[in-house]
Chains A and B, each alone.
Chain A
Amino acid sequence: GEDVEQSLFLSVREGDSSVINCTYTDSSSTYLYWYKQEPGAGLQLLTYIFSNMDMKQDQRLTVLLNKKDKHLSLRIADTQTGDSAIYFCAESQSGTYKYIFGTGTRLKVLA
């Protein structure tokens, strides 16, 4: 079945860039998403990319999609302590409401 994989932990220093990686198996994915979960809260959509795009930039966030390798990454520039959270990669297909989420990557930002 479909699967989405992420590494579990990432630690960076404040001001550095963070890169969170994700691989997925479903080649028919239409949308790929990055969600952020702060402690004790629900998930919040950070950004998304359509499967026919290679890159998307949104302020400090850059999403890169390599369709051939089924690899998605999220780069956070100038990482701040407020960016400490769990980041989930997810994919879905057009015309359905089925979502596959990754395991989440816990980002810790050191002051």
Chain B
Amino acid sequence: EAQVTQNPRYLITVTGKKLTVTCSQNMNHEYMSWYRQDPGLGLRQIYYSMNVEVTDKGDVPEGYKVSRKEKRNFPLILESPSPNQTSLYFCASRLRESSISRSYEQYFGPGTRLTVT
């Protein structure tokens, strides 16, 4: 089954304790992205990657790191989490643009609810 998976689904942690949220897709998509969802603010893009070893900042990159060493994985790293990073996080992936494929369709993971106390 074509899917984007995220782990963990729920995480409660304390300020300053480094954490990693994993994201994996099995659709051979070139593009991958991380978003955070907050009430009244919708989804905001944190980082995105257009291919292996190619990453770029979205609208809210501060306090986050990413890496893209393999095509299927795109982990999100919080080196020193703070309470304002309490949020619902989504990973997504998409094919590179092509006139043939449905490359505009972005597939989302189920979300990771993070609480930082």
- A residues in contact (CB < 8 Å) with B: 1, 4, 6, 8, 31, 33, 40-45, 48, 88, 90, 92, 94-95, 97-104
Contacts and interface: CB of A to CB of B under 8 A. Distances in A.
17 contacts: A4-B42, A6-B42, A40-B111, A41-B110, A42-B4, A42-B90, A45-B105, A48-B105, A94-B97, A97-B56, A98-B58, A99-B33, A99-B106, A101-B42, A101-B45, A103-B40, A103-B42
Given A94-B97, A97-B33, A97-B48, A31 B104 contact: yes
A97 B104 contact: no
Interface of B: 4, 31, 33, 35, 40-45, 48-50, 56, 58-59, 90, 92, 94, 97, 104-106, 108-111
Nearest to B50: A97
B113 to A, nearest CB: 10
A22 B19 CA distance: 36
